[in-house]
Structure 1
């Protein structure tokens, strides 16, 4: 027997006993262990921590032991399942169940919860044979392992409304690295998954060409299709699909203005535009450090396209400090504001406070409002190294200012033309590095304070807090 038959048979046994199917990660672990892989290798392939993989595996072996009446563990799961499945499958009227998951597509198949849900989302008539067999298919193999979700009720409500009420076809969630884009997307999936026939998460970390990406999407959709459809758009029209593309900034060019595609990836822009401008019932979500350039144009044309700039957590970030065991809670708000409520930055700084000041926030802040960077620096550098030359010059200028500036009144000794200045400001804003405020009816711009501190420290290292 092959692993596909085993997966199908095991999933059926679990469903009969537990009334739920194996999820995508359980299937992947079972498949990899079957092929002789160890937990560290499985963790790397699934983009999860080794501890998380071990915990899921322990729970899986325990559940299968209860269902099959055997002491199942990593070392014997293959032999036991193979023996059990053979005796059941081939001795049951000679029938053979063929699996539908191959070695590089891992899916979680869940039955629709009720007839009404199937009727509204399926392209087939309610009483048809196709509809009765209709399933919801979810593949989150590429999704990152997020240990905590920080409360973002407002942003989550906005995304849910855009998708379920406004039928938005293309959504871009952009923001600084580590701000929580993947976390909110995973929470969104958890809340609205019953509204979709297909859900898949794909990462562009390895910069696949559009052709490779579309092939992977079609392979995913075709797993449950008796007759494959010609294009991705055909699937988007025939079913309600939710596709999340993570790390979209990897197809943008470093050293250029924000959202400028690498030469061999310009067709991504055409693909995104096609999704936004064509009629269908699905949604594509882009997660990126930068806002794609064509999105602004599509929004200006009143297309069903929306953009969410994800910022810091605000007071909700106090939960991070609580988990780290920091003291002097009355100073937490000051610390949160200093580091912009950025969850990753606060996690790093909280660890520093524990290491250097035994968790005492007051002692850490004793020197005033200087921003200590420490282990945050590599994260900042990874974003700043993507800037164009004009953006670097404007960043240096903004870092030298005491407050927000009016770009309609630039300095006389500036190196850039007015057009270049405005384009650089616009590009920095699309990276989340520059913010805009309204003062006396005028728009003023300022550099993110943490990045400002970093740029100043490189110009004058003595200013950085020791």
Structure 2
């Protein structure tokens, strides 16, 4: 592919969103394809260097959004070549992601993690965008580097023997894409046979052999329930300990504690924590929802946090009940709280032990953000030590349930956003009234 073909391809991609390349954008792409700097590109155009830089910045932002990964003048050539060489995908249907906001750094971090590890767990609370980010990752993979992708939902958790047979079948299919229908039927009939609860060592050995022969990314989506199945821990440990360049990528609402031990032991394993959207990306959600009073958006985001799904639910409510006027909501509604938001938060709160409940209650009832010393003082009567508090704050931070900020006098303080505070207080009221919280 030459640069003229590349420019035509970009024009086709942008036409899907109703726009086309301008002459100055074409000049920038042509120069970027040849590895030129802006100072070199500007000599071939009638435009100023400042104008070239300004248009270039906007162009790379648009292309990053369109292609679902970070695009710059330095990686444009490489990214476009990968776009033309998609990796074959087997297994379940990859979820469609019609809207994707920000996450350029997170996407780059995830791509680097699966490239250098044999097992990666992407952790984050419900609605934070783990599945969407993983789906976008597939746009970044090149058939020159990966032989295949297998996408499987891990909810409900399948017996390990069943999963192994499925993975072996997909890997065989990826190695022989022209399998005739008779072989497909045989594979289907084998998968319908009853399996034992005893994990077949032979199946694991065969799977690792296939992972050595072909570089494959195995994605297990919604894998948090696997943590409670004992058969999966030794299986993942064998996968991580074997010699191959394939990778298992798990999305989970909860960290896999064993993974950190394996990493510290020198194995190729990594946990990535997905947190709230940055404020600019969060504002794009509000803009796409048609909200008004843009000068008040920052306050709305600070109030509700940067969970994309929760922000969309809040924005829908503002649009439906207040005509999209953010100022009215901030003036009259203390906290916009829906049944679905309550359900999302309950999925996290229902897993709390006493320590997490006590820390969340203390933060929710506080009149201001609390320092570590203030938290510890309030909780000492509950028998919580400083080491207990450190572990609990780490647990809550990894699940995006607390905010850690610097106060005006440069002290680290801990607080809850408005919606988490309201949910915590609601549960405390239910418990005080001896009423079970909604699950």
Give the TM-score normalised by structure 2: 0.64
Give, in whole Å, the separation in 1 of the partners of 2:252 and 2:136. Answer: 17
1:158 to 96, 100, 109: 109
Q: Which residue of 2 aligns with 1:206?
A: 156
Give, in whole Å, the separation in 2 of the partners of 1:275 and 1:449. Answer: 42
CA contact (8 A) 2:376 2:386 kept: no
Measure how far apart 1:390 and its partner are.
3.3
1:428 to 363, 378, 396: 396
Give, in whole Å, the separation in 2 of the partners of 1:229 and 1:341. Answer: 40
Give, in whole Å, the separation in 1 of the partners of 2:319 and 2:410. Answer: 44
Matched, 1:266 2:216: no
Aligned length: 314
User: Using a 3 Å threshold, how does the CA distance of structure 1 residues 313 and 426 change in structure 2: closer, same or farther?
Assistant: closer
SS of corresponding position for 1:245 = strand
Bigger shift: residues 241-250 or 290-299: 290-299
CA contact (8 A) 2:371 2:411 kept: no
Structure 2 gaps, min length 5: 1-85, 180-202, 431-439
Measure how far apart 1:137 and its partner are.
3.5
Give the TM-score normalised by structure 1: 0.61
User: Using a 3 Å threshold, how does the CA distance of structure 1 residues 233 and 450 change in structure 2: closer, same or farther?
Assistant: farther
For residues 369-407 of structure 1, give each alpha carbon's deviation from its aligned partner in whole angstroms, at most 9, with x where no partner exists.
Answer: x43222421211122112233322332233233314417
CA contact (8 A) 1:405 1:446 kept: no
User: Using a 3 Å threshold, how does the CA distance of structure 1 residues 230 and 413 change in structure 2: closer, same or farther?
Assistant: closer
Q: Which residue of 1 aligns with 2:327?
A: 362
Matched, 1:342 2:307: yes
Q: Which residue of 2 aligns with 1:94?
A: none
Q: Which residue of 1 aligns with 2:265?
A: 301
CA-atom RMSD in angstroms: 3.0
Q: Which residue of 2 aligns with 1:249?
A: 224
For residues 389-448 of structure 1, give each alpha carbon's deviation from its aligned partner in whole angstroms, at most 9, with x where no partner exists.
Answer: 332233223323331441793433115466654544443344332455577998655455
Measure how far apart 1:294 and its partner are.
0.8
For residues 106-129 of structure 1, give each alpha carbon's deviation from its aligned partner in whole angstroms, at most 9, with x where no partner exists.
Answer: xxxxxxxxxxxxxxxxxxxxxxxx
1:21-420 maps to which residues of 2 (within 5 A)?
A: 137-139=88-90, 141-164=92-115, 167-194=116-143, 195-225=145-175, 230-251=205-226, 261-262=227-228, 265-314=229-278, 315-367=280-332, 370-375=334-339, 376-401=341-366, 402-406=368-372, 409-410=376-377, 411-416=379-384, 420=388
Measure how far apart 1:241 and its partner are.
0.5
Measure how far apart 1:303 and its partner are.
2.9
Give, in whole Å, the separation in 2 of the partners of 1:291 and 1:169. Answer: 16
Matched, 1:455 2:406: no
User: Using a 3 Å threshold, how does the CA distance of structure 1 residues 240 and 458 change in structure 2: closer, same or farther?
Assistant: same
Measure how far apart 1:367 and its partner are.
4.3
Bigger shift: residues 284-293 or 395-404: 395-404
Measure how far apart 1:161 and its partner are.
2.5
Bigger shift: residues 351-360 or 448-457: 448-457
CA contact (8 A) 1:193 1:199 kept: no
Measure how far apart 1:197 and its partner are.
0.7
CA contact (8 A) 2:356 2:392 kept: yes
